[in-house]
Amino acid sequence: MTLSNRSALLSLVLICLVVYLPGLTALPPFDQDEALFAQASRQMLETGDFVQIRFQEEARNRKPALSYWLQAASAWASGTPDAIWPYRVPSIAGLTLATLLTFWIGLRFFDGSTAFVGAALFATSINAVTQAHMARADAVLIPLVVAAQGALGAAYLHARERRPSPRQLWLVFWIAQGLAILAKGPILILTSALTILALGAIDRDWRWLASLRPMAGAGLAVAIAAPWFVATTLAGSGNFVGDAIATDLLPKLLGVDQQHGGPPGYYLATGLVMAWPATLVLGLAVPLAWRGRGNPAVRFCLAWIVPTWIFYELIPTKLPHYTLPTYPALVLLAAAALSSVSQRATPGRQWWSIIAWVLVGVGAAAFALAVPWLIDGAPTLWSFGAAAAAAGGVFVGLGLLRRGDWRRASIVALVGGSLWSGLMMQVVLPNADGLWLSRRLAEAATRAGAAVPGGAPPVAVSGYGEPSLVFLLGTRTRLIGGAEAADHIVDNPGAIAAVSDDTAPEFLARMEARQRRVHRFDAVSGFDYVWGVWRNLTLYRLEPPPDTH
């Protein structure tokens, strides 16, 4: 590795730390996936069972164990398993590694400058920044996708250039496949298979795949993934594969799962948002891809992007981060186009991506002001700062584009976007207090003397059951109906019940039926962003029975 490549890698690590560390400790746990992952990982530490995945008493047979193991290891090493930030460390590490692997691919497909710019575009995209801040399987999967696709692409390029492939490529490809199965099932298999099918259909040549040793490699991948699947079945968690297919995979393929849907074209629209600030240069990639489609590196990138993108457009369930595994190829094409732009090039046919970049930037500025205003009643100084970073980047960047200076405009776009995301994650979102109902409720329970988390007796919650609340209040938190909450505080002296407005009549009726009185000592309210509604919860304690003497 040359000195310039080492400097580039160090610079990329620094960029990742600048955009991924803000908000690490400040942001409360997100609902629903992050809190589900973090809570299940913490329960592994609490029980010492690293085979079965559970959320409270329920088996969580949806995603395999690798992400949970990494999160549990991080929480154990940190010594603070009740804080959310250790569970996010594997996500930060995953996105940082994916960024460095994008640079590695760029070096082999294009040149050092393209590799660095492409990796920086990937690292600072809204999609990557968002995933780095959430303790989920996607951030663990993405570096495995980039590693496997990079090895696949290197094997393809060596075959096209009639050079022997390095012997370690097949190991990289299949080890990544095995680990990816343990992280998120068959997602990487799908991406690689679609890439191979596209290249085979175009080239009508499959011989280059022999360098990846398909039979031995598939056996290696199975050897990596299979032991846990066998262990979890023997441990009594049921048929994990059957449950995962029935409850997670098929609902996404056959219908709109958990209200996450959208029409074909959804990812073309959301991709312009989620790739920001790299949106500015995406328009440059289209003519380059068309003109250079005969170039093996460009062809491979297209085979990586197009079939996978189409597949996700066609399935009914849609979430903006699903197409993140295609971003490394997309940004490398954009970076290659950017490096070929002349010093004073006019926007020309790239106007659509410039307009999209401007609109998303203006939207980001408006979002920074709107969140604290709508949630807590007024924008903050920090929200004005975030808005200024987004809008200022657009304003200065447009001035540079008018002079044809694409390179400096891209730098300004990245700096403005990075400042915006850092301020949003570190101060604007965490300080929008009404957005974090679970945090408010946990703080109220702490003020009331409840041991949070752990402790006895557990808090009972009725009418609000997001997993972030279980993480903040402890594994023994009771998520039950109004009548059951009444029984809980009667049968457990000193217990607290948090009851929503819509379950309060049932709660109070049961208390009356049991001839006991309750004391209302606090109330919290906030915006439940999972369901898009405001919720009010009242905290109750049991009044002692009257003295009969």
What pLDDT does 246 receive?
Answer: 67
- 250-260 pLDDT per residue, tens: 666 665 656 66
Q: What is the pLDDT of residue 167?
A: 82
Position of tokens 């951030």?
139
Tokens 């301020």 identify what position?
423
Band of pLDDT at residue 378, cut at 50, 70 and 90: confident
Q: Who wins on pLDDT, 343 or 363?
A: 363
pLDDT greater than 80 at residue 244: no
542: pLDDT strictly greater than 70: yes
Distance between CA atoms of residues 251 and 384, nearest Å: 41
d(CA 41, CA 469): 15
User: 3-state class of 463 per DSSP?
Assistant: coil
197-217: b or e for each residue (b if 16 or more CB lie within 10 Å)? ebbeeebeeeebbebbbeeeb
Binning pLDDT at 50, 70 and 90, where does residue 349 land?
low
Cα Rg of the chain (Å, integer):
26
447-501 residue pLDDT tens: 887 654 455 579 999 999 999 999 999 999 999 999 999 999 999 988 999 999 9
pLDDT at res. 452 = 45
Q: Are 490 and 542 in contact (CB under 8 A)?
A: yes
Residue range 312-344, pLDDT digits in tens: 999 888 888 899 999 999 999 999 999 887 555
Question: Given the DSSP bridges, would you call strands 496-500 and 533-542 parallel, antiparallel or unpaired?
Answer: antiparallel
Q: Which of 205, 95, 213 is nearest to 151 (CA)?
A: 213
State the pTM of this model.
0.93
Compute the mean pLDDT over every residue in the chain, rounded to the nearest whole number.
91
- Asked if pLDDT for residue 346 goes beyond 60, the answer is no
Is the Cβ–Cβ distance between 196 and 208 less than 8 Å? no
Measure the CA–CA gap between 19 and 421, rounded to whole angstroms.
7
Tokens of 106: 């760029």
Query: What are the pLDDT digits (tens) for 132-181?
Result: 999 999 999 999 999 999 999 999 999 998 888 888 899 999 999 999 99
Q: Which two tokens stand for residue 366?
A: 């408006």
User: How large a percentage of the chain has pLDDT more than 70?
Assistant: 92
Average pLDDT over residues 288-302: 91
Q: What is the DSSP letter of 490?
A: H
Q: Between 233 and 183, where is the model more confident?
A: 183
Whether the pLDDT of residue 4 is over 50: the answer is: yes
487 Rama class: left (phi>0) / alpha (psi -120 to 50) / beta: alpha
The structure tokens listed for 395 are: 């304003």
pLDDT of residue 105: 96
* CA proximity to 455, closest of 480, 472, 438: 472
Angle between helix axes 3-20 and 112-124 (nearest 10 degrees) is: 10
